[in-house]
Structure 1
């Protein structure tokens, strides 16, 4: 093993991502690059570690096979459970000049299997990289859904490639496409976001200082998810290393994530809102008291609507563990912007109680008094150099002043050039022009406001319900219902609009509440449904057309944990949503 060499490049001047990573390999060949907790019950002995040199060799081995069998620029579907093999496959694709397509394993649910088939077809995948353990599942899925016959290779199986002849990286530059990051599909068919080397390097160069990035990173996030992918790539480029665990291990036992952070000196770990909420509910007080989370200085929360009450509860519960509220960093990002847009660590989360009546009129105004109906909304920090941020009226395309709610538009080097093979859509989504003629904006589809120099995100435009001319935001209703009715489960979906309840007195203003319930007796369900109606009427001044109470797990989610609002609306409208109890309109009763 050769001695370490000085780093030649940084994020701003590296000619491409692979050159920077190989520079890191040369500088720190024996330094631990990545570790994976193969056995979550054994925090020390269950950890498998790879140095930078080992990861480089593994990547070059995969690159050698890819270079021998595929032309440059081919799309390669990466189907891995996470951890070391995924990292080797990703960098193997980059070394060989291929386009990586990270995706979840097929699983057993039909909608997940169909979504993966759509990704394979849309990307034009020429090969699949997986592991020996997952190979039978992948082949069975291909046969089941009729995926075209393409090579499927287990990267961790021995090959005939002679190690001394392992492939060196091909010539690349910042304009080379590195990967296709497929969207979650929470509001439609998944689309492949084209991400080039320049977007990855620039976003990291802006995001790391803004988030005060230093120390070891890690956690359980799926690596095919955009936030999980950054949690892998950023520390590898920065020389920090990362420690990963199986997402399923976290879901089964949330305390395992926190124990990983404690045992392996993890300083930075990101997760969606639901993960923090799950820890509040599931981690026992005695387990919290046994943890040391004092070194966790960046607890990023994003990917789905952020509930400030969850952040407050998390900070309170784990104060006994040494966790500090200022470690919590609500962040905003999306795949189309190479993930990071804004976030502000180093202070407790900043929130405002926003007047609900004003919100219904599109104004972001703090409630003047405690007796006003209001919603607590959390800041995602001030815009940073990663993107220019504007809030725009989606109809007139006029830029809105501070304190007005509109569509978030972004512009800058972090923005993807577009969706893969979607030229008809790209001009509208990635080339939006304001009323004053300023072009090249990404229309995010997210609602938000700038207030006192900070960005507040408040749902999706497609999800907004208009009731008798008033704007109603479904996540506000869902949050209020869970706050007032502890019997409700962790997931619910409110939706509405024309055609939601056919035959309703006012179809255009129909509002439907669907929500999971947990351990509620059957004879209690009618009264609970009536109480839900009363709460929505009292707090929001609107009538609920229908209520459907569901068994746990019935709310559809994407692979990244977001509720599939449009899919739930379709199930309800088509009469295919099976409920434990429902009011008379629009949905089948499981007892009938």
Structure 2
């Protein structure tokens, strides 16, 4: 009996049914040389991926008991996919994470993940084995075995035997982009992944060939580029993130060359393509088969998506392909977003927004355009809740987004305090909700997400959303770069009562003698448009603003850098 996402007993059973049904069909491919679209692609069939996974699973079963956590430290490519599927086959819990790298912060965070997960083994590649073993030798438990999966080739896949498992079996620990010393591993069971994949792929009309460059250890990259297509029996084409960042046109050429229909990316990727892909690159480019251009993982700028659609219309790209999505690791990945519909936005009054009201803007008033992230699926009960009182709010009122549904994790790995986040109760006694920490509103049946609760700034009793200030500054001051961070003061003004903000922003190509005047103009704009004072303006060089591995701005880390006096500025006023 063939299964589907709704009735499969577990992930392994469903995947191996695809192996049996179409062993020679392409499962996954990696563009090892993005400059050579014809010869640079390495392909694995379902039978080959199954064999590679069984080799790794047999080794894991021989050395570890079922349920052990296996840290996956790989560059983008086929080896990660084999290691991930191998963990599922072996009944292990996969823990995807970035390679150690050379930065102290990154190595410390990875060590914290390894400790928190209680790692039993580390899988990597032969190329990265020395680097990973050097990092592992620094761990308190330096005896954790570190093995290169591609050096296990002599292993016998026939030594693998299926394990008893079901939908309640834990499959993945997905670590969120948290602080160095406090990593949080989201526990995902087979059921969470199957239910979330079913809801997402149905709503997004997800299918056909998939592809992208997102990091495999990030939830959007792991699920949209690897797990979803493999569970559907489809195929996926992968590319390294660095290849995209160096030359964004490579992503688009990959989509064209291999007939990719579904590819996801954060907002900045669409913006980067618009800026750095020249008109001469459009010649011969065909994006007409790209029917799902999913955008999520960070605040979505509607102007950036429209600019992308306008520029690449000449290459056959359809505006309705752009799909704004909302998701998070705690819900597996997907929450809302619908395909084949025009991008929906609302321009709302900023003063009303400061009072928590989602009021359409009128002419002459300061406003902000916000993107809708679709109608939430039936897979979720969604509430907008006052984060202080727990009271449910009506449509049109801004509050914290609370969710309840089968694809939501039961909590963070080995955390006793998960109930406050994963089992929240409204003031009316309705319980079992996930507190997302995201601010949002229902309007005309769609959900609009507007920042993080922890980033909200309250000035003289008014809600100030930092992304609104950042957006307005870039709109009024073209000299500013594309990245800035606004956060709460008091900054460096003696005697400040805290009712002020700090503005940090990247600038490029601005003469030194122009910076003091630009800082003064920034102060004036914030005061005029938002009615609040600015404690400090810090203008910094491009690349200073910190981002997570998925491209999100690390607002809290930037705030800490500033308040600790460690933010290197081209100009800071006051000093």
Identify which of 35, 43, 47 aligns with 1:49.
Answer: 43
Q: Does 1:531 align with 2:528?
A: no
State the shift of 1:159 in Å.
Answer: 4.8
Over residues 170-225 of structure 1, what are the superposed CA-to-partner deviations in whole Å (9 max), with x where a residue is unaligned?
A: 11100000000000127983310000000000011111111111211110001100
Over residues 482-539 of structure 1, what are the superposed CA-to-partner deviations in whole Å (9 max), with x where a residue is unaligned?
A: 2222222232111005xx4255443321200111111222122112211211222222
Contact kept in structure 1, 2:56 and 2:83, CA below 8 Å: yes
State the shift of 1:340 in Å.
Answer: 0.4
Query: Corresponding residue for 1:4?
Result: none
Query: Corresponding residue for 2:144?
Result: 150
Over residues 69-96 of structure 1, what are the superposed CA-to-partner deviations in whole Å (9 max), with x where a residue is unaligned?
A: 0111100000011121111000100100
Q: Does 1:440 align with 2:426?
A: no
Identify which of 371, 392, 411 aligns with 1:378.
Answer: 371
- For 1:242 and 1:160, the matched residues in 2 are separated by 27
Identify which of 403, 406, 413 aligns with 2:406.
Answer: 413
**Cα 1:32/1:160, change in 2 over 3 Å:** closer
State the shift of 1:145 in Å.
Answer: 5.8
Which segments of 5 or more consecutive residues in structure 2 lack a partner in the other structure?
Answer: none
Query: Corresponding residue for 1:130?
Result: 124
RMSD (Å), alpha carbons: 1.4
**Cα 1:229/1:564, change in 2 over 3 Å:** same
- For 1:198 and 1:371, the matched residues in 2 are separated by 51
Query: Corresponding residue for 2:241?
Result: 247
Identify which of 81, 85, 107 aligns with 2:101.
Answer: 107
- For 1:111 and 1:495, the matched residues in 2 are separated by 22
State the shift of 1:352 in Å.
Answer: 0.5
Query: Corresponding residue for 2:421?
Result: 429
- For 1:67 and 1:40, the matched residues in 2 are separated by 36
**Cα 1:213/1:469, change in 2 over 3 Å:** same
Q: Secondary structure at the match of 2:327?
A: strand
Identify which of 550, 554, 576 aligns with 2:566.
Answer: 576
Over residues 360-419 of structure 1, what are the superposed CA-to-partner deviations in whole Å (9 max), with x where a residue is unaligned?
A: 00011111x221110000000011123211100011111100000000000010100100
Of stretches 231-240 and 242-251 in structure 1, the one that deviates more from structure 2 is 231-240
- For 1:374 and 1:562, the matched residues in 2 are separated by 24
Number of residues of Structure 1 aligned to a counterpart in Structure 2 = 574
Contact kept in structure 1, 2:248 and 2:277, CA below 8 Å: yes
Q: Does 1:201 align with 2:194?
A: yes
Query: Corresponding residue for 2:300?
Result: 306
Q: TM-score, normalization: structure 1?
A: 0.95
Contact kept in structure 1, 2:400 and 2:436, CA below 8 Å: yes
- For 1:279 and 1:483, the matched residues in 2 are separated by 20
- For 2:284 and 2:477, the matched residues in 1 are separated by 31
State the shift of 1:289 in Å.
Answer: 3.8
Identify which of 298, 323, 330 aligns with 1:329.
Answer: 323
Contact kept in structure 1, 2:136 and 2:144, CA below 8 Å: no
State the shift of 1:336 in Å.
Answer: 0.3
Contact kept in structure 2, 1:269 and 1:300, CA below 8 Å: yes
Identify which of 258, 266, 276 aligns with 1:264.
Answer: 258
Q: Secondary structure at the match of 1:508?
A: coil
Identify which of 290, 310, 315 aligns with 2:284.
Answer: 290
Q: Does 1:554 align with 2:544?
A: yes
- For 1:263 and 1:86, the matched residues in 2 are separated by 23
Query: Corresponding residue for 1:362?
Result: 356
- For 2:473 and 2:241, the matched residues in 1 are separated by 28
- For 1:109 and 1:484, the matched residues in 2 are separated by 36
Query: Corresponding residue for 1:491?
Result: 483
- For 2:72 and 2:18, the matched residues in 1 are separated by 24
- For 2:146 and 2:354, the matched residues in 1 are separated by 52
1:86-105 equivalences under 5 Å are 86-105=80-99
Of stretches 284-293 and 331-340 in structure 1, the one that deviates more from structure 2 is 284-293
Over residues 112-169 of structure 1, what are the superposed CA-to-partner deviations in whole Å (9 max), with x where a residue is unaligned?
A: 2211111111111111000000111112222356563310000011455234x33133
State the shift of 1:45 in Å.
Answer: 0.4
Q: Secondary structure at the match of 1:33?
A: strand
**Cα 1:488/1:140, change in 2 over 3 Å:** farther
Query: Corresponding residue for 1:73?
Result: 67
Query: Corresponding residue for 2:499?
Result: 509
- For 1:357 and 1:148, the matched residues in 2 are separated by 56
Which segments of 5 or more consecutive residues in structure 1 lack a partner in the other structure?
Answer: 1-6, 586-592
- For 2:369 and 2:181, the matched residues in 1 are separated by 29
Contact kept in structure 2, 1:407 and 1:448, CA below 8 Å: yes
State the shift of 1:541 in Å.
Answer: 1.9
Query: Corresponding residue for 1:589?
Result: none
